[in-house]
Amino acid sequence: MTEQSATADQELPVIARFEVRRRSYLAPDGKVLRQLPAFAADANVLRSLYRGMVLTRTFDLKAVSLQRTGRLGTYAVSLGQEAVSVGVASAMREEDVIVPSYRDNGALLWRGMKMEEILLFWGGDERGNRSSGPAHDLPYCIPVGSQAPHAAGVAYAFFLRKQPRVAVCLFGDGATSKGDVWEAMNFAGVWKLPVIFVANNNQWAISVPLKLQTASETLAQKAIAAGFAGEQVDGNDVIAVHAAMADAIADARAGKGPRLIEALTYRLSDHTTADDAGRYRPAEEVQARWKEEPIARLRSYLVSQKVWGKSDEEELVADCQQRVEAAVERYLAVGPRAPETMFDYLYAELPRVYASQREELKRNRHGRSDG
Amino acid sequence: MAEVTLVEAITLALARAMDEDPNVVVLGEDVGVNGGVFRATAGLQQRFGADRVIDTPLAELLISGLCVGMATQGLKPVGEIQFMGFMYPCIDQLVNHASRIRTRTQGRLSCPMVLRTPYGAGIRAPEHHSESTEAMLAHIPGLRVVTPSSPERAYGLLLGAIRDPDPVVFLEPTRIYRAAKGNVEDDGEALPLDVAFILREGRDVTLISWGAMVKETSAAAEELAADGIDAEVIDLATLKPYDEDAVLSSVAKTGRCVIVHEAARTGGFGAEIAALIAERGLLSLLAPVVRVTGYDTIVPLPRLEQEYMPSVGRIVAAARNACQSG
């Protein structure tokens, strides 16, 4: 650059400035960093969030052991990210719609999906996705990021019908590299739709670290180009996640448009049970991140406030284990489906040409080949 | 009853559907003020408002993905993709979401959406505006694929598609958007989505086609009639699911079959029909099944596109050949 053009640049007016804020309340050791939001004064609310996270972890770890013993298919663990799932879902209302990714087990549990249903889905049976959660919720999205336009479409339906409802879309850091997420945010910005995008930034997309995913300083700032605010929260601080979501959802419900919440966390587990994270990241890194995990953090705070004690903890752990074991028993007791049921929900009404294929399947199953 | 073009029949059906059901919304690029690049949505935004006739950002994946999200909540979105050549970003949404959400939630959610797009060659359009990749779409389980060949069928089939509780890709033959005219009664009567149309009954040979090629196929039948060959013409109209019975009963009668499509030959939908006949109609055949199709080339730019497309002459020759055997 010549001296002359440098001077000219300095005279160009700044036409826009942006900022991204970061929200956190609890330090990794549970110490309070700044004044807590009002809801945190209610110990019952915090204990409820804590229970949700512990149940999620208990369930996740059991799911892994089921997979390791051949009783479950590939499973995406949310170890270390429980505060994102629970903080997000706990800020929603029943009539809102969650649009989840494949790792949001804790959020779906909170929304009312039963543990045996989650296991049934990952155990290879679509019946799990019938879900006892809200009937309008979307199921797990397996392809990365392609659920984001659905969330915008869901929010558009609320907008058109003038319903005070909000769509909440969860995806990972990897998904923010996809056009799907951008296209959805862009549309949501144009129409000021009631949708909250949650980027669960666990910093690894299988083996690809965030720095190879984007040169953007934060993921939250990706909202700015779409014309709405993005906020980064400490995703291991469930109070921060819940508070950020409660604010964003209240604004969206009031017609103030979308928001992007980047929840900065860390994937303490392998990507899924089919992955070996030891191939691409050092154990020391993971070890260090264990010091920041969300469950111990909230427990430290609750203990410091004298609203949680050893007997509470023992009772909770036993209760979670008992509930998970009971759910596993119910899951393992689910009987097989008749194979021809694979046709049952292909269309509202099965076209006659496929009805004959269903009969063919039945005949084949009974060992009578049709030719 | 008024004489309208095929594209005007589309507009009539859209207006009728929007009028009778507040859940129907139209979305796409330029569908609002501009009424769509082919004017298929002309006047709809003025009549139904910008909230129900949505000018979307220029993003095809988004259009299809919005349709899926809207449809899960009970809206009946009708998305428009300006040309089939630009719909490929939608394939992910069609394969991974629209077609399977009913199955993967075991009926808890469904996807009553329509994705409309003009397709096919012969309008001297720029590159990427001429392909016919309907077979690719017809391969997707859980989807319906529909293509009209006249204003009457455009009206009835589109109404049927919009009212259908499952996802439908509605392929509109660009070449006959305005060339095809017909008397359309705007009576709200839908046509069924899995019944073929016998346009001409005949004894000697079955000619099967769909979309714009029905025009050449029908003209070929007239030419054959002058030669004393009595051709039956079937407009398949719905490719997924398709009317297997209509194909098989016609071939049982004629013993000869010529399948006409402008899409490339290999893996084209004609192969599916030929396979059906080989499996279930072989013994009634008096001659080999013949396909008259586009070549396995990239659709050429306008200077050569007429050479690529099946012509009346090619269809007539193939049918004569078939009638000489057996």
ipTM score for this prediction: 0.97
If asked whether residues B175 and B204 sit together in one domain, one would say no
| Phi-psi region at B185: left, alpha or beta (left = phi > 0; alpha = psi -120 to 50) | beta
Domain termination site, one of B117, B149, B184: B184
Average of per-residue pLDDT across B191-197:
97
Task: Name every chain A residue with its beta carbon within 8 A of the beta carbon of B62.
Answer: 149, 152, 180, 183-184, 186-187
The answer for B29, left when phi > 0, alpha when psi is -120 to 50, beta otherwise, is beta
Q: What is the mean pLDDT of residues B20-33?
A: 98
Confirm or reject contact between B242 and chain A (CB < 8 A).
Answer: yes
Nearest in space to B251 (alpha carbons), one of B211, B289, B218, B213: B289
CA distance A281 to A266: 12
Instruction: Specify if B21 maps to a domain.
Output: yes
Name chain B contacts of A143, Cβ cutoff 8 Å.
92, 96
Q: Are residues B93 and B214 in the same domain?
A: no
Give the Cα separation of A342 and A361 in Å (integer).
10
Select from B83, B11, B80 the least CA-distant residue to B48.
B11
B77 and B36 assigned to the same domain: yes
End-to-end CA distance of chain B: 46
- Quote the Cα angle for B231-B233-B235, to 5°: 170
User: What is the token pair recorded at B181?
Assistant: 């005219």
DSSP, res B125: -
The amino acid occupying position A361 is L
Q: B1 or A89: which carries more pLDDT confidence?
A: A89
Q: Does A215 touch chain B (CB under 8 A)?
A: no
B119 in the same domain as B10: yes
Cβ of B96 under 8 Å from any chain A Cβ?
Answer: yes
Q: Is residue B276 part of a domain?
A: yes
Helix (H) or strand (E) holding A251: helix A238-253
Distance CA B65, CA A86 (A): 27
Residue A172 and residue A73 in contact, taking contact as beta carbons nearer than 8 Å:
no
If asked whether residues B178 and B257 sit together in one domain, one would say: no
Angstroms from B77 CA to nearest CA on chain A = 10
- Put simply, whether A148 touches B (Cβ < 8 Å) is yes
Q: Name residues 250-289 of chain A within 8 A of B (Cβ).
A: none
- Distance from B303 to chain A by nearest Cα, in Å? 35
**CA-CA distance, A210 to A202, in Å (whole number)?**
9
How many Cβ atoms are within 10 Å of A354's Cβ, its own excluded? Answer: 16
Residue B143 and residue B213 share a domain:
no
Contact B262, B284 (CB under 8 A): no
Task: Write the residue in A149, A158, A344 that is nearest to B62 by C-beta.
Answer: A149
Looking at residue B166, which CATH number applies to its domain? 3.40.50.970
- Measured CA to CA, the distance from residue B50 to residue B25 in angstroms comes to 10
Query: Residue A7 has what pLDDT?
Result: 60
Final residue of a structural domain among B153, B184, B215: B184
The tokens describing A50, both together, are 């804590």
Distance between CA A268 and CA A278 in Å, rounded? 11
Question: Do B230 and B268 sit in the same domain of this protein?
Answer: yes
Cross-sheet strand order for the sheet of B197-200: B197-200, B231-235, B205-209, B257-264, B290-294
Q: Does B58 touch chain A (CB under 8 A)?
A: no
The answer on B207 and B124 residing in a single domain is no
pLDDT of residue A1: 47
Residues of A in Cβ contact (< 8 Å) with B166: 347-348
* Per-residue pLDDT at A196 exceeds 50: yes
Q: Distance from CA of residue B125 to its chain's centroid?
A: 19
Q: Is B304 found in the same domain as B176? A: no
Helix spans in A40-81 (H): 43-68
> Least CB-CB distance to A153: which of B67, B96, B103?
B67
CA angle (B75 as vertex; A90, B185 as ends), nearest 5: 175
Do B186 and B157 contact (CB within 8 A), yes or no? no
Residue B325: phi and psi, rounded to 5, are -85, 160
Residues of B in contact with A347 (CB under 8 A): 102, 142, 144, 165-166
Residue B189 forms part of a structural domain: no
- % of chain A exceeding 90 in pLDDT: 95
Inside any domain, residue B192: no
Q: Which of B132, B157, B184 is the last residue of a domain?
A: B184
Closest Cα of chain A to B6: distance in Å? 27
Residue of chain B whose Cα is closest to the Cα of A161 = B23
Interface of B with A in 156-185 (CB under 8 A): 164-166
Determine, yes or no, domain membership for B129. Answer: yes
Cβ proximity of A181 and A148 under 8 Å: yes
Please give the positions of A annotated as active site: 267, 271, 280
Confidence of residue A371 (pLDDT cuts 50, 70, 90): very low
Q: What are phi and psi for residue A168, nearest 5 degrees?
A: -125, 120
- Please state the domain extents for chain A: 18-30+40-336, 338-371
Report residue A297: phi and psi, to 5°: -65, -50
Long-range contacts of residues A334-342, Cβ cutoff 8 Å, at least 24 apart: A334/A116, A334/A120, A334/A125, A334/A127, A337/A125, A337/A127, A339/A365, A340/A365, A342/B103
Measuring CA to CA, how many Å separate A105 from each of A57, A116, B176? Answer: 10, 12, 51
What pLDDT is attached to residue A370?
46
Domain ranges, residue B309: 197-324
Residues of B in contact with A351 (CB under 8 A): 194, 241
CA-wise closest residue to B177 among B42, B291, B1: B42
Q: Domain count of chain B?
A: 2
pLDDT digits (tens, 9 = 90+) for A307-339: 999 999 999 999 999 999 999 999 999 999 999
What is the CATH T-level fold of the domain A18-30+40-336, as seen in this structure? Answer: Rossmann fold (3.40.50)
Across chain A, mean pLDDT equals 95
B190 assigned to some structural domain: no
Q: Which two tokens stand for residue A246?
A: 């409660």
Task: Give residue A10's pLDDT.
Answer: 73
Q: Do B260 and B310 touch, CB atoms closer than 8 A?
A: yes
| Contacts with B262 (C-beta within 8 Å, 6 or more apart), sequence order | B120, B121, B122, B132, B211, B212, B213, B293, B294, B308, B309, B310
pLDDT (tens digit per residue) in B219-278 = 999 999 999 999 999 999 999 999 999 999 999 999 999 999 999 999 999 999 999 999
Note whether B203 and B76 are same-domain residues: no
CATH number at residue B289: 3.40.50.920
Shortest distance, CA A353 to any CA of chain B (angstroms) = 7
The secondary element (H helix, E strand) that includes residue B2 is strand B2-5
Tens digits of residue pLDDT in B161-180: 999 999 999 999 999 999 99
Quote the minimal CA–CA distance from A197 to chain B in Å. 14
pLDDT grade for A169, boundaries at 50, 70 and 90: very high
Does B223 lie in the same domain as B137? no
Does residue B118 form part of some domain?
yes
Is the pLDDT confidence value at B196 over 50? yes
B110 touches chain A (CB under 8 A): yes
> Does B127 lie in the same domain as B27?
yes
**pLDDT tens profile A94-131:** 999 999 999 999 999 999 999 999 999 999 999 999 99
What is the amino acid identity at position B181? K
pLDDT tens-place string over residues A3-26? 556 566 678 999 999 999 999 999
For the stretch B84-115, pLDDT in tens is 999 999 999 999 999 999 999 999 999 999 99
